[in-house]
Chains A and B, each alone.
Chain A
């Protein structure tokens, strides 16, 4: 199990690297799709069917939006020679990565091995969940009953985002 997921995550890393370095923006968007759809397979292997369904829908919508944006443009990423500013940003990236890596090494001692973690607070969500919520799907039970207010907030964020997109696309810019 761990090997299969590792192989898929390896492919996702390759896709991400290609997406970052591709010259044509359309191939970058499609290579970004490798990461999203690889995540769907990982979710299926990790016994999370609800996540896989939502992720496949969301990834498809994201790809459609991005392809629509890219096809409307010149598609080429302007090539520029690495200047001093480019080296500064690359050095910044390496420093931030090193700091994050240090914290990962420190915190990896407290991570359980894959598949051997214990259920902590969600034990009480699982016990008697069917009687309490009336839903045999535990994820639905958590989302719509135990943490219903979270889902209400999520719906609010979605509506705000839709209103924001409509507002941004409809205003007339200064000539």
Chain B
């Protein structure tokens, strides 16, 4: 049960970063930390004691496998996470070139 709590604490760390930081790069890092904690939670839910990786061995049909469904979902989510991060970084590059800073308060003041 401890590991679920640690996973939740990792999520809260990312959330704290997103809310309190004022630097765009740090906000992007915190968002990916939140993503990672969710992936870890889903992989933990699918784990089974004494199970093997979900690759079927035809010679031994009575093996216990870990749950393949959360793994497939997390695989999709990881790739989409990469897409969102790349998009976010592209926006951040544009903002830096226009305003010369990563600080969202200064960007707010400079706008107009």
Contacts and interface: CB of A to CB of B under 8 A. Distances in A.
Interface string B1-42: 111111111111111110111110110111011001001100
Contact of A89 (B19, B26, B89, B102): B19
A28 B65 CA distance: 38
Interface residues of B, number: 81
Contacts of A121: 69
Contact of B56 (A80, A122, A129): A129
A106 to B, nearest CB: 13
Contact of B65 (A80, A116, A138, A143): A138
Interface in A1-39: 1-2, 5-6, 9-10, 12-13, 16-17, 19-20, 25, 28-29, 32, 35-36, 39
- Which label, helix, strand, loop or mixed, suits the secondary structure of the A interface? helix
Nearest to B67: A122
B56 A143 contact: no
Contacts of A97: 12, 15-16
B57 to A, nearest CB: 8
Interface in B37-93: 39-40, 43-49, 51-58, 65-69, 71-72, 74-76, 78-87, 89-93
Do most interface residues of chain B lie in helix, strand or loop, or is the interface mixed?
A: helix
Given A73-B102, A115-B47, A138-B56, 4 more contacts: A47-B66, A69-B92, A92-B19, A161-B84
Interface of B: 1-17, 19-23, 25-26, 28-30, 32-33, 36, 39-40, 43-49, 51-58, 65-69, 71-72, 74-76, 78-87, 89-94, 96-98, 101-103, 105-106
Interface of A: 1-2, 5-6, 9-10, 12-13, 16-17, 19-20, 25, 28-29, 32, 35-36, 39, 42-43, 46-51, 54-55, 58, 61-62, 65-66, 69-70, 72-73, 77-78, 80, 86, 89-90, 92-93, 96-97, 100-101, 104, 108, 111-117, 119, 121-122, 125-126, 129-130, 136-139, 141-143, 147, 150-151, 154, 157-158, 160-162, 164-165, 168-169, 173
